[in-house]
Structure 1
Amino acid sequence: MSTLTLLLLLAGTLLVTALALYALLLWRRVWAQRRNLAQAESQRRERLAGDLQVLASSLLDSQLPLIEGAIRIKVLLDNYDTALSQDSRCQVFHLLFEATAQVPTHANWKALDPGERRQHEKRFNELELQHKAAARTAARWLLDEGLKHPGN
């Protein structure tokens, strides 16, 4: 074997080794990023589960208005676990959300004239009377079973 062939073989080996080390470095970054994303997702789910527990407990203890609690629970459930959100035992939250979707919020609520506000409040009271038991049952189920499911 000639010197040139040996030098080319050595250069090729060094190049392949350098590329392999660089590929390993890049894969380590990918693995670390995946691990960080999984950890962030786990923390997000834990935070949402905790928020859902607080809301469900507050709804059951009447510390939170039923309509407001149902809306907040529905939105958090959608972000926490769509399968759990679509569970038939949680449908009351969707129903109340949809029944109040057209109601203005925040500054728009304050801008309503008192008559319009009273009409909405009357509708809230009707909805609460009609769905209070189902919402409380759903909140209790979330606390006792829904949020404790192994997939959640």
Structure 2
Amino acid sequence: MSETWVYGLIAVGLLVCAGLVVFILRQRATIKAAQEEQAAKLHALEAKAQEQRDYLIESIHVIANAMIHDERMTLTEGTIRISVLLDNLSPQLKQEPDFSVINEVFERTRHIPYLKKWKELDKQERWRYTQEMKQIEAEHKDALLKAAGLLASYPFEKHFH
């Protein structure tokens, strides 16, 4: 084999190596950009999840305080609202002894229509459901007020931050 061929093959090999280095560097930059984009999306999702948790926590605190201090918030309405919020924030909390009454009252009142369906009821049906709610509230008033008091100042932040 002549020297020219050897130098030619070396030159071709060097060009191939240089091309591969350029390709590798471009791929590395593409992967790095994709990783940075993925990290930014993850950070945005985490921030949104934290914002949602903060909203749920604040809502629970406000409703619990209203159950205790605001006559316009019935214990049944507060219980239903808190139950739904806890389902989204920390469902296992409803199983703890101090808060199990929330789940119990919710289950006993879940068949009662609300919002638009409540407004569609005739007066007799509303009265019947109102009496049922008053009876359930009377049975569980002390436990509901205790649970609301605990939830009004519950340190959710320690569990989720």
Q: TM-score when scaled to structure 2? A: 0.87
Provide Cα deviations, 1:10-61, integer angstroms capped at 9, x if missing partner. Answer: 0001101100110000000111111111111111111111111100000010
Structure 1 residue ranges without an equivalent (≥5): none
Matched, 1:23 2:31: yes
* Deviation larger for 111-120 or 22-31: 111-120
Matched, 1:95 2:104: yes
Matched, 1:42 2:50: yes
Match of 2:82 in 1: 73
Structure 2 residue ranges without an equivalent (≥5): 1-8
> 2:26 is aligned with what amino acid?
A
1:5-20 pair list within 5 angstroms: 5-20=13-28
> C-alpha displacement at 1:135, in angstroms?
0.6
Q: 1:143 aligns with which of 126, 130, 152?
A: 152
> 1:58 is aligned with what amino acid?
A
Q: Identity over aligned residues, as a percent?
A: 26
Matched, 1:59 2:67: yes
Match of 2:135 in 1: 126
Aligned-CA RMSD value: 1.5
> C-alpha displacement at 1:80, in angstroms?
1.3
> 2:58 is aligned with what amino acid?
G
Match of 2:95 in 1: 86
Q: Is the 8 A contact 1:55 1:73 kept in 2?
A: yes
> C-alpha displacement at 1:149, in angstroms?
5.8
Partner Cα separation in structure 2 for residue 142 and residue 107 of structure 1: 28
Secondary structure in 2 aligned to 1:135?
helix
Q: Is the 8 A contact 2:62 2:152 kept in 1?
A: no
Q: TM-score when scaled to structure 1? A: 0.92
Aligned residues: 151
Q: Is the 8 A contact 2:64 2:148 kept in 1?
A: yes
> C-alpha displacement at 1:148, in angstroms?
4.2
